[in-house]
Structure 1
């Protein structure tokens, strides 16, 4: 169940971040150009265009991706040993880097959205009889889209590191089970203690048998 939830959260983070980047690339092709802006007296008229809405949606999706990744990482979840703590430290560092990349991407998105918003703005005088209007430079949305992809990949990495289960304990030492008690009170024999019974047959009088010394060589039995 935990693995399924992790996969689902990573899918949401990835889809939101990638969609944000795609919208950024599309906004780059739809942004206003100097030919689209008209000068009326001392004002610049910016017509409506899709780049403004695309940039705003890209910011929202990027924020959703980062928030879901941070919540999925479980920053408040307790650690689980030295290996778990080390993994969490790396995961937190990666998450911070992801947020830094996301903030920079959002700044580029916001800059592009502001300069592509429809409306009128005061013209800037570049000379006595020359007026100019501000226009977004090429590549702003592209940089934002690339940074969105980098932030999303780092967010997924941090989510995996922070949600990874703790390492299992090392297996028991071989032979340790020999020290455990056996059923019915049986215990394994201690090392160096000989066990067993004598192999001489029992006699009828109930006395334990003893080995008889062999007759001496060279001597016969005594005669009566």
Structure 2
């Protein structure tokens, strides 16, 4: 049973890892493709944002990260709450507590990364938006700052690592019974000790001979 559980965990870990890494890669690419102030055209008091790849990359990275988190949470049994009785780590074990904490932290990191992705996608979306005033006679167009997609990509990797750790801990089979607890029939290991038989002798008194003694026969008796 434990081997089947471990075999089913490996593909889930691979899927979560691929989704999370792909999300981070898209984030790094979006950082290189994002709009710069030179790409934005000013038309009167409107800012014209041209179509660019960073918008689609950010949306794709955000979706992949969300899917990775959902898969990891379902695989871990919804932080251990959806695991069947007797399956996975014991409810009172330290391993389960660490798994739940890792799952919560992974979601926090994923949410922060998603906010960065969403903000970057919003500011890189094609369209026309009004310029903002910076002073009395100065208008400017909003543009995303450098490093936003990089921070989102790094947080995606951290969230994926924590999600994988949580999945492994929460899906690990619990240790059944201690070394001294009896197990059901047919599950007890064979005894390795060798029983040595010793002869059992009846208790003898200190004043008695251990064996009956035959009557003494004298060789010098007179012949009849």
**TM-score interval for Structure 1 and Structure 2 normalised by the shorter chain:** 0.7 to 0.9
- TM-score, normalized by length of structure 2? 0.78
In structure 2, C-alpha distance between the alignment counterparts of 1:223 and 1:63, rounded to whole Å:
121
CA RMSD for the aligned pairs? 3.0
For 1:57, the equivalent position in structure 2 comes to 60
TM-score, length of structure 1 as denominator length: 0.78
Greater C-alpha radius of gyration: 1
More helix per residue: 1 or 2? 1
Give the aligned partner of residue 166 of structure 1: 174
Query: In the superposition, relative to structure 1, how do residues 97 and 41 fare at CA in structure 2: closer, same or farther (>3 Å)?
Result: same
CA distance in 1, matches of 2:90, 2:30: 42
- Correspondent of 1:36 among 36, 39, 54: 39
Q: Is the 8 A contact 2:24 2:156 kept in 1?
A: yes
What SS does structure 2 have at the residue aligned with 1:84?
Answer: coil
Q: Does 1:106 align with 2:109?
A: no
Gaps of 5+ in 1: 179-187, 197-208
Matched with 2:90 is 84
1:181-217 residue CA offsets vs partner (Å, 9 max, x unmatched): xxxxxxx89x998169xxxxxxxxxxxx95314468x
Query: Match of 1:185?
Result: none
| Residues 5 and 172, structure 2, Cα contact 8 Å, conserved in 1 | no
Q: Counterpart in 1 of 2:161?
A: 153
SS of the equivalent of 1:134 reads coil
> 1:194 and 2:200 equivalent?
yes
Q: Say how many residue pairs are matched.
A: 198
Q: Residues 91 and 212 of structure 1: is their aligned pair in 2 closer, same or farther, counting only changes over 3 Å?
A: same
How far off is 1:115 after superposition? 0.5
Counterpart in 2 of 1:96? 104
CA distance in 2, matches of 1:60, 1:140: 17
Query: Does the 8 A contact of 1:69 with 1:156 survive in 2?
Result: yes
Structure 2 residues not aligned, in runs of 5+: 182-188, 203-210
| Distance apart, 1:92 and its partner CA | 1.0
Contact between 1:79 and 1:88, CA under 8 Å: does it hold in 2? no
